[in-house]
Every structure is written in structure tokens, then in C-alpha cells.
Structure 1
Amino acid sequence: MDILGQFNLGFIITKLGNDLFIVDQHATDEKYNFEMLQRHTVLQSQRLIVPQCMELTASNETILVDNLDVFKKNGFDFKIEPEAPPTQRVKLVSAPASKNWTFGKDDIEEMVFMLTDSPNVMCRPTRIRMMFASRSCRKSVMIGTPLNKAEMKKIVLHMGEIEQPWSCPHGRPTMRHLFNLDMLPS
């Protein structure tokens, strides 16, 4: 996309072929920052004073044990007791904690549910996604910020590097098609 300029200190006007687009500078930067946090952040764990028995079904225990690396990247650590009876084999020994955010059994159960359909796929529970959305919003370029051509180009290039560039984590569209220049009267 060619950068044509900034509009109203919040939008980047771009051109691709004969099509003009308007790019929301904040939503686009936020989505890029969000996906980078999702992809690269390994949450730090806080050790529990007393391990908590998870009381999962036997099949959910198996899903959790088979996906320990996914839980580890999300900051959860477990003690596995193979000799214990089914449903009592897994104990939570540390959970992620980040500033004002704490996580626990509900987040683990949500992850087990997600991993049921997509084993060994990196996933994040809803509350961790919410934390990343909040952090990515605060660190992104704000509406009202004047950008030079290089800064606009960087935002637009980043849009091309992410998997789901269509809306920010809060649902705001990152880009809209304005019109095709071929539609202008001669």
C-alpha cells in the first residue's frame, strides 16, 4: 500500500492499485501489539503456598497432561501424581500473576475446553487475552498523534505481518475501503 497521508490525526489514507483505504492508526497498532503479546509472551508464575487439587475428569486430566507446555507458556505449573486415583492426579503448584491480574482454576478449565478441540495449539484463556488487549491499547499510538511518513509506513507494514488484521482486540475495525478511483467521473 502506498501512504498518501494522515487524516484528522487519527487515520492513514493509503492506496493499493486504484483503491483508496482509510486505516485507523490506533486500532491497527493496537492489533499488531496484541498479536505480538499473544505470540511471544510467556507469563511469569507465582508459586502457591499450598498446591490445589484440580479435581478434573479423567479425560480432562489427560488433556491437561498432554498439553503441559501450553499451560507453562500461560504461567501455569502442575505437579502430576501418576499413582493417584483418576481425577486426583493433577495439582496446581503455580499460577500466573501480573500486576493486578490473577488467574486460576476457571482459566485452566477454559484452556482444557479449548485444547479438547485443538490439542497442542497455543491458546490463551479469555482473561489473559483481556489483559493483553488492555496492555496493547495503552502502548499503541493514540488518536491525535501526528505521524511522519515513516511512522505511517511502519503501522501499515505491521498490518501485513499479522494473522487477523481486520479489527482491534476490542472489535474496532482497523481499515475501511473508501472507494475505487475508477469510479470517479472523468
Structure 2
Amino acid sequence: MENNVLVDRSTGEVIQKSVGISATPMVPIGQVDNTYIIAQDADGLYIIDQHAAHERILYDRFAAMTERIPSQQLLVHLILDFSEREAQLIESNLEMFNSLGFGLEPSGPDQYRLMEIPADIPVAEAENTIREILVSLEDMHQLSAAEIRHECLAMTACKAAIKAGFELNFRQMEIILDELNKTAMPYTCPHGRPTILKFSSDELAKMFKRTGF
């Protein structure tokens, strides 16, 4: 289950989505280790995990698509070999793979041809993503169709999201902050990890032992 909360570190107050991440646009200051976006607004300082934030953005975008996630055609089709059990899982979930943007068709015994992949996923990640989805499907036989879809969308979003160590320019940071603020659950990624930490102006003052505020 996803957790839609942000905790203000100065007061311990739980902030719900109804008040938004920020009433005014967060302004990016820079990056730390090409992994965390540092931003500010009138209320304080924010540290955003760029991978987790982009995961949330992509997950919400994918989940809002009632039909098929946009895909990209592979110029060279990939022939993938699977175990008998994996091939059975693909066959029984072929419609779901198609809705995720994976174009698969049988190519031989326990073998499938991969012709299309989700537009946001790098080609190098495609096979690994399918195999990880299969592992999840093997473990999720007790879950409902909606829960299975959530897990598969979350995995697809994770593979497509920008990674830690990726350098962003200020415009890219602005886009991430703006799009994160518009998501349904901006404070956690689809797997439940926090996307953002807030340090209020009061907390910053206390940390530096400033008085008179």
C-alpha cells in the first residue's frame, strides 16, 4: 500500500497531499552527488531523490493510461529464451505485457520475439525488465489483478526513471519538481520510499542555534 504523507522535520507534523508539497513553486538550487535535487521555497529547504521522484511521475503517467503505454519499435527484434514456467506466465499475461508497451509474440518452444518496448525504457533495460516482471508474477499469484498491475507498472517506472548519478541541468530539475508537485502521491515512490525531505525555516534556524525568529 502506498503512503501519501510528508513529515515536516521541525514539527513532526504529517502533511497531506491536500496542501501540496509547496504552495509556491520550488526553485532548484543544485544537485548533490548527481542524485539529490536541492530546492527551496518561502517555507524552507527541500531535498529530493531524483530517481524516486521520477519514478512517481512516470508511475502516475503510466497508471493514467487506460489503454496501452506508448511503445517504441525495435529495429532489430530480440529473440528471448525462457523456462517452461516463464513462457507459461508470458502466455497467460500476454495482454498485460502488451498494455505495458511490450510487443511479444511466440517464436518457438519457450521462446518469444520482442518487437516493441515501452517508449521510456532504454533498449538495454528491456529484457531485464521483462525477466524481473516474470519474477514478480511468480511471487504474486495470490494478488488481485489490480495489485499485479500496480507492481508491474511500478517496476516499469523504476526501469525508465533517471538514475542516481545522472547530472541534471536546472531546466530538467524544474520540470521534475513541477511534475512531482502535480502527482497524486508526491511524497513516496510507487515502492514506498520517500521522494522528498523538507527542512522548514524554523528547523534550519534551530539547527544553527539562531534565536529571535
Taking structure 2 as the reference length, what is the TM-score of the superposition? 0.50
Taking structure 1 as the reference length, what is the TM-score of the superposition? 0.57
* Distance in 2 (alpha carbons) for counterparts of 1:5 and 1:95: 43
> 1:40 and 2:65 equivalent?
yes
SS in 1 for 2:64: helix
> Once the 2 structures are TM-superposed, how far is the Cα of residue 18 of structure 1 from its aligned partner?
4.0
* Distance in 2 (alpha carbons) for counterparts of 1:18 and 1:128: 37
Matched with 1:56 is none
> Once the 2 structures are TM-superposed, how far is the Cα of residue 179 of structure 1 from its aligned partner?
4.0
* Distance in 2 (alpha carbons) for counterparts of 1:31 and 1:40: 15
> Once the 2 structures are TM-superposed, how far is the Cα of residue 95 of structure 1 from its aligned partner?
7.3
After superposition, give the CA deviation of every residue in 1:155-183 in whole Å (9 maximum; x if it has no partner).
Answer: 10111111111100111101001342661
SS in 2 for 1:96: helix
Matched with 2:126 is none
Matched with 1:5 is 30
* Distance in 2 (alpha carbons) for counterparts of 1:97 and 1:132: 10
Counterpart AA for 1:154: I
- Structure 2: any 5+ residue segments left out of the alignment? 1-25, 70-92, 103-129
Q: Which runs of 4+ in 1 moved over 4 A?
A: 99-103
* Matched residue count: 121
* Distance in 2 (alpha carbons) for counterparts of 1:176 and 1:157: 16
Matched with 2:96 is 97
SS in 1 for 2:95: strand
* Distance in 2 (alpha carbons) for counterparts of 1:133 and 1:31: 8
> What is the percentage of aligned positions where both structures have the same residue?
23
Structure possessing the higher radius of gyration over alpha carbons: 1
* Distance in 1 (alpha carbons) for counterparts of 2:160 and 2:178: 18
* Distance in 2 (alpha carbons) for counterparts of 1:129 and 1:146: 29
> Once the 2 structures are TM-superposed, how far is the Cα of residue 110 of structure 1 from its aligned partner?
3.6
- Structure 1: any 5+ residue segments left out of the alignment? 45-93, 112-124
Q: How does 1:1-80 map to 2 (within 5 A)?
A: 1-43=26-68
* Distance in 2 (alpha carbons) for counterparts of 1:17 and 1:37: 32
SS in 1 for 2:30: strand
Matched with 1:165 is 186
